[in-house]
Amino acid sequence: MKKFGQLSKEEKLALFEAWVDGKTIYATHFGEIYTQKYPSWNEEVVYTVMKTPDSIDWSHVNPKYKWMTRDKHGCVYLFEDEPSTHGRGYWKRGGDAVEVQGFASYVKGDVEWYDSLVRRPDNV
């Protein structure tokens, strides 16, 4: 990861734009990571944008489904058992699976498809 002073103008503007849009900015300096409500944009600090995972109102989902993923084409599925990545942009199905199409509470996050695995919370 590059320090702020090593970033191109476009990379700096992308960080600033993410901050203006309300994204959480993380700063890493001397091995410590902390959130920055008002970043100082210090040349020696590494700044990153927190990614938002996909979400769904699990209280409206059959309790047998414990996992949710999105493939590289944007198709979202609920699984009974934990799936694993296929390597070609898909997930290997874990038990019974159903497409999320039709769940109004589904919200796509900004993580990459291979980081989209979400586990159902224990309390739902």
Q: Is the pLDDT of residue 35 over 80?
A: yes
Confidence band for 93, pLDDT divided at 50, 70 and 90: confident
Average pLDDT over the chain, rounded to whole? Answer: 91
| φ and ψ of 76, to 5 deg | -115, 135
How many residues are given for the chain?
124
Q: pLDDT value at position 36? A: 84
Strand pairing report for 25-29 and 46-49 = antiparallel
* Secondary-structure percent of the chain, ordered helix, strand, coil, rounded to 5: 15, 25, 55
Q: Which residues contact 106 (CB under 8 A, 6 or more apart)?
A: 54, 55, 56, 76, 100
In this prediction the pTM is: 0.67
pLDDT in tens, 64-88: 999 999 999 999 999 999 999 877 8
In the chain, the percentage of residues whose pLDDT exceeds 70 is 99
